[in-house]
Structure 1
Amino acid sequence: MKAELIELMARVVQVLQINMRWMTWNLFLAFIPLALSIWLFRFKRGRSWVWWLGFLVFYAFLPNAPYLLTDVIHLIEDIRTIQSVWMITLVLIPVYFLVIMAGFEAYVISLINVGYYLHRIGKSQWIIWMEMTTHALCAIGIYWGRFLRFNSWDFVTQPDALLTRGVEEILGKQPLVIIAITFAILVGLHWLMKRVTLGFVSQKNKSIVIQPTSMNTNSHNAG
């Protein structure tokens, strides 16, 4: 029994070591648009050619954040490898959940930052259209990445192949169905996670405001 447990643990460690390579890389790609969204939309700066270049890079890399949702296919493969309910429940699923949610949260915060920018420049009515358009573009980007194996930098390295093969492939019935389902998932998850995120931020801001007020009241009473 002890030997079997040691062997199982060794297999889990091996699987995690292999997964950490692509998990770390995918998370890095997911946090690129998050960092760019802060630089582009949270600071007041003019829309120079550098800003527009950053904007294009932001949208080129943005699908990498929700793309992590599709990495659940690796979880299925790992479950077949481990074949232990306890290890799957206590190790694999929590690790995958944290990585996938971290990537999607980067997506949510990035769009919140875009919405903040639109609100600041007096274009709040564009926020919902921006979100829907972004979900659609990212659904296409996820399909390109998962099924056609294109990367964000292919916009520069092989734009012809991306625009010709990429456009041709998504016009079929099956790709359109997959893209539509992906779009629906992005809309639903974003709607939920956006409210959770904004609720958390709002609650945190309230606690920051209340705490100094209560401290001032106490010091006044003491005096």
Structure 2
Amino acid sequence: MALIIEALHAMGHNVRWMSWNLFLGLVPLALSFWLFRKPRSRWLIWGTGFLLGATFLPSMRLFFFYLKHIVQDLGKTYVLGAIVITLALMAVDIWVLRQRGVRSLRWWAGFLAFIAFLPNAPYVLTDIIHLIRQIQEGKSVWVVTLALIPQYLVFMLAGLEAYVLSVMNLGYYLKQQGWGKFVLVTELTIHALSAIGIYLGRFIRFNTWDILTNPDALVNTVMNDLVGKRPVLVMVVTFVVIASLYWLMKQVSLGISQRFYSSPSQSELSADSATSSESIDLRF
């Protein structure tokens, strides 16, 4: 009984910060559904919405805490200006949508938000340091093995899969626009940007919203501090890890999608021939 109480206490201690980090990682996935493609699977849509709500509620206080500081840092004038600009973008969007094939300003604003929030998804992989710290605190081996490790695995897999699906949705959109030859370059660029974002978040302790609230310090850090040997080495290793895990999880996701959305004849055909991700047009 004592071990169960200890395990619940240890897991409960992780819930708040895990919920917040996972919520930030799910934001780009939700944006990708709006920007790039709407999934065929209602389970995926409702599941993402459920996870967003489930991760937002435990971290609601943290959300409003950061929101309050963002408003204070930006100032009321900036916030009012942002509201006016948003309303203007909505009006322009209504007009632009009448013209077929033209992306609206609101779409581009959403795309910038997608790029800004995307590193939060693979960022959860670096939270393994918290597990190491909890082990060093002397947690029971049973608590670590049966409670903490499964909790961290689910947490990190959810964040990584959110990243994979987000980038895959972007790749799907590029193919639909006739830019399929740029998918690989785009993926590698996204991995590189995510590696930079993870370094800025984990080691320099910047947040996504510092792009708006503290751009001067962010730019100075990028220009001055990221050219050293240690930052470059860390970012290169991070890039390799992200790219490798992305490729692996992408194959798993494509396999699962093909399993559920392909007919038996298509499955047999794909089993007889090597199928690349570029030749598969799957909708989750």
Q: The TM-score by the shorter chain falls in which range?
A: 0.7 to 0.9
Matching residue within 96, 111, 131 for 1:75: 131
More helix by share: 1
**How far, CA to CA, are the matches of 2:120 and 2:206 in structure 1?**
11
Distance 2:262 2:23 in 1: 32
Q: How does 1:1-223 map to 2 (within 5 A)?
A: 6=2, 8-42=3-37, 46-206=102-262
Q: How far off its partner does 1:167 sit?
A: 2.7
- Alignment correspondent of 2:69: none
Provide structure 1 residue ranges, at least 5 long, that are not aligned to the other structure. Answer: 211-223
Q: Distance in 2 between matches of 1:82 and 1:10?
A: 15
Question: Comparing 8-17 with 121-130, which one deviates more in the overlay?
Answer: 8-17
Structure 2 gaps of 5+ residues are 39-99, 267-284
Give, as a single letter, the amino acid of the residue that structure 2 aligns with 1:156: L
Q: Which residue of 1 aligns with 2:50?
A: none
In structure 2, the CA distance between the partners of 1:98 and 1:45, relative to structure 1 (3 Å rule), is farther
Contact 2:6 2:143 in 1 (8 A): no
State the SS of the aligned residue for 1:90: helix
CA contact (8 A) 1:11 1:82 kept: no
% same residue? 50
1:150 maps to a residue whose letter is F
Give CA deviations for 1:47-98 in whole Å, capped at 9, x if unaligned. Answer: 1110110000000000000000000000111122353222211111110000
- Give the CA RMSD over aligned residues: 1.8
In the superposition, relative to structure 1, how do residues 133 and 199 fare at CA in structure 2: closer, same or farther (>3 Å)? Answer: same
Residue 45 of structure 1 and its aligned partner are, at CA, apart by: 6.9
Task: Tell which structure's C-alpha radius of gyration is larger.
Answer: 1
TM-score, with length taken from structure 1: 0.87
> Separation in 1 of the partners of 2:264 and 2:18?
35
Q: 1:135 to 1:64 in 2, by over 3 A?
A: same
Distance of 1:208 and 1:77 partners within structure 2: 48
Q: Structure 1 residue 208: deviation in Å? A: 8.9
CA distance in 2, matches of 1:69, 1:128: 23
Figure out how many residues of one structure are paired with residues of the other and give that number.
Answer: 205
Distance in 2 (alpha carbons) for counterparts of 1:164 and 1:139: 18
User: Runs of 4 or more off by more than 6 Å in structure 1?
Assistant: none
TM-score calculated relative to the size of structure 2: 0.69
Cα displacement string for residues 136-159 of structure 1 (whole angstroms, at most 9, x for unaligned residues): 000000000000110111111111
> Aligned-pair distance for 1:15?
1.9
